[in-house]
Chains A and B, each alone.
Chain A
Amino acid sequence: MRIKSLFTTMDISAQGLSVQRTKMNVIAENIANAETTKTENGDPYRRNIVQQQAGSKERKFIDYYKPNTINMTETKNVHMPDQKFRYLDEDKTIGVYVSDIIKDPSAFKMIYDPSHPDANEQGYLAMPNVNIVQEMVDMISASRSYEANVTALNSSKDMIRNALKI
């Protein structure tokens, strides 16, 4: 077993931490802009959503599961080149990353406030589509996920430390 293998475990947990931190940042931005009625393009603020995806941006999942791959040798020049024959199907992904941060397409909340400078002719004001309760729930969820990843990271660290005691 290569020692790199245990450190990739910590890599995975670190990726999880990074994703949850990104989520927290985006949620903080949403809450901070919950009352912003005018942005650069003239519209009210639109809520941001983090899309996370299993897998790895830079490295292919195959890098992590070397024991399950077969190296083929070419003995004749008519043979096809080594394509790293894989047993694994594409479902078994390793790692997690933020694939995209998208804008929530749902409609703005309209409230009646004729005195507001951004109100339309009928006196209605478009408020951002941020739901504070929703954001709070998402924040707690992200924070708990972060804690779970920290626990996993500590567990891996303890394992490496144990291995180094031999």
Chain B
Amino acid sequence: MFKKNLHIIAILIKKTMAQSLQSYRDSIFGGELMITDLLFDRTACPDLEKSMDVYSLRQKTLANNIANAMTPGYKAQKVEFEEEYRKSLNKNKIKGDLTDDKHISLGRKPINKVYPQVVLREDPINDTGLNNVDIDREMAEMAENSLRYEMSTKLILKRFNNIKSAIRGR
């Protein structure tokens, strides 16, 4: 008799534990949880991918500025992204909840809706009198940009290597 009761109690404990685990999952991940979420989607991977997109676009505009350094009347370009991204990370601002595809986002944007924008530099015409490309600045920015790109690729590579070693178990 006592043994049977113990069995029932064990089942109850299991059930409540499972429920609490589920509610814990819900509270953190908002419902369903897939293994890909844990491995990729809810990690830094999407942000790193976005950063790589931004850096390659920036590389393109910098290469364009350098190629046009001697073109008369050319207007230098730049990529704006970091400011918008910082705004989207600011948790103090209110964010409108989107429950439908047709909703317009309110307050701070969701991170996956922040895109890099190519805008014109508003620098005055430089000493050459041809255009407003500052070649030293472009070269310095290009060096920095390519290092940043390397950083992003290294971080993603590290993440994948960690997953790999977890799969292998050593």
Contact = CB atoms under 8 A, between A and B. Distances in A.
Contact of A94 (B64, B73, B115, B160): B64
A88 B157 contact: no
A38 to B, nearest CB: 32
Contacts of B68: 16, 54, 96
A16 B66 contact: yes
Given A8-B60, A92-B118, A162-B149, A151 B142 contact: yes
Nearest to A141: B70
Interface in A1-38: 1, 5-6, 8-10, 12-13, 15-16, 19
Contacts of B150: 158-159, 162
Interface string A78-104: 000000000010011111100000000
A71 interface: no
A56 B69 CA distance: 15
B75 interface: yes
B143 A155 contact: yes
Interface stretch (B24-32, B50-58, B84-92, B97-105): B50-58
A10 B66 CA distance: 12
Given A92-B118, A163-B153, A155 B142 contact: yes
8 contacts: A52-B70, A54-B71, A96-B67, A145-B70, A149-B67, A158-B150, A162-B150, A166-B157
Interface of B: 49, 52-53, 55-57, 59-60, 62-64, 66-75, 77, 115, 117-118, 120, 135, 138-139, 142-143, 145-146, 149-150, 153-154, 156-157, 160
Given A151-B142, A166-B160, 18 more contacts: A1-B49, A1-B56, A5-B57, A6-B59, A54-B68, A54-B71, A67-B115, A68-B118, A96-B68, A148-B139, A155-B59, A155-B145, A156-B63, A158-B146, A159-B56, A162-B149, A163-B153, A165-B153
